[in-house]
Structure 1
Amino acid sequence: MAQTPQQRRANQKFAKENESRMGKSEDQLKKKEKRDVKSPISPIWLALLGFVVFGGLVFEVLSRLLG
């Protein structure tokens, strides 16, 4: 069975990553992996979530103090 274009791209990406690892020690590879960690949630969504939670908390405290 022939490869699909998606499989071909995935295989090329895998080969490129393995070539970049050749000749490097485990310590060098671990250091690189630690730098590439990304947050699972974007800063915009994090700010929106914080606004909803803490903004609601602030409004609740103000309503209890003033009302």
Structure 2
Amino acid sequence: MAQTPQQRRANLKFAKDQEARMGKSEDQIKKRVKEAPKSPISPIWFILLGFVVFGGLLFEVMSRIFL
């Protein structure tokens, strides 16, 4: 069964990572820290969503109190 281009890229990436590890001790390998995963939503959209939700809640509470 032939490899798909996606599988081929993944295999090349894995082979490159393994080759970079060759000849290094476990301590040297553990020092290499991978980046933390990024949030799928940007901070601007998160703030906007919070403003809409909490702003709507605030207006709803105010309308129930004063009317």
Q: TM-score, normalised by structure 2?
A: 0.61
2:37 maps to which residue? 37
Unpaired segments ≥5 residues, structure 1: none
Unpaired segments ≥5 residues, structure 2: none
Q: Which has the higher helix share?
A: 1
- CA distance in 2: counterparts of 1:54 and 1:17, whole angstroms: 46
- CA distance in 2: counterparts of 1:7 and 1:39, whole angstroms: 26
Structure 1 residue 11: Cα displacement: 0.8
Q: Which runs of at least 4 in structure 1 moved beyond 4 Å after TM superposition?
A: none
Q: Who wins on radius of gyration, i.e. which is larger? A: 2
Per the alignment, do residues 5 and 64 of structure 1 end up closer, same or farther by CA in structure 2, a change over 3 Å counting? Answer: same
